[in-house]
């Protein structure tokens, strides 16, 4: 009989776990948004996207200047960039997520801006926010022209195993 009770307890525990898995505070909309963001992260990390963006920036960075005044050509380049990036991402998302609608996602993105951070948000901002777009080109131009500060020259990297040896040597009592 004891063995029978153990078996029943196990079944009850499993049912309880299944109930917890099924109950969730996120909605289908939240899940779909999170999945879309995950796919976009994969897409922008892909070499095809990186090459396309790099080529576009290489072709156009010479037009940008780090001034308050904006040139008319910036508007044309912004439109071209937005069309190129949106089309690329939309095509990739549609292939990965049947039924994906970019306009619906864009609306969700605008209402959830505070939920996103990091590189994904920066990339998405560059095709929806002109100031971010311009800053991306200004930064790229500064890097191309060698006008960025390289902080890496001040770093010294020491392997952990070497640090442990040094530490253990300092802890040993001196020998006479």
Find tokens 């006479």 and name the residue.
176
The pLDDT of residue 52: 95
Q: For residue 162, is pLDDT > 70?
A: no
Split at pLDDT 50, 70, 90, the class of 163 is low
Q: How far, in Å, CA of 109 to CA of 33, rounded?
A: 8
CATH of domain 50-145: 1.20.1520.10
What is the mean predicted confidence (pLDDT) over 108-114? Answer: 76
Report the percent of the chain where pLDDT is more than 90.
Answer: 36
pLDDT band at 16, cuts 50/70/90? very low
First to last CA, the chain: 71
Q: What burial class does residue 25 get, using C-beta atoms within 10 Å of its C-beta: 0-12 exposed, 13-18 middle, 19+ buried?
A: exposed
pLDDT digits (tens, 9 = 90+) for 37-85: 899 989 999 999 999 999 999 999 999 999 999 999 999 999 999 999 8
Tell me the domain boundaries of the chain.
50-145
């Amino acid at each position: 009989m004891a063995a029978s009770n153990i078996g029943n307890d196990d079944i009850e525990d499993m049912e309880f776990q299944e109930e917890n898995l099924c109950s969730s505070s996120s909605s289908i909309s939240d899940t779909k948004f999170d999945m879309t963001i995950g796919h976009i992260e994969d897409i922008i990390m892909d070499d095809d996207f990186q090459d396309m963006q790099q080529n576009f920036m290489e072709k156009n960075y010479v037009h940008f200047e780090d001034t308050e005044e904006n040139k008319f050509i910036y508007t044309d380049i912004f439109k071209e960039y937005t069309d190129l990036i949106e089309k690329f991402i939309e095509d990739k998302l549609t292939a990965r997520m049947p039924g994906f609608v970019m306009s619906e996602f864009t609306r969700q993105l605008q209402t959830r801006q505070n939920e996103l951070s990091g590189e994904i948000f920066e990339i998405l901002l560059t095709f929806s926010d002109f100031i971010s777009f311009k800053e991306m080109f200004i930064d790229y131009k500064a890097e191309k022209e060698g006008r960025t500060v390289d902080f890496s020259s001040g770093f010294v990297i020491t392997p952990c195993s070497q640090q442990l040896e040094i530490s253990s040597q300092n802890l040993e009592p001196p020998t006479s």
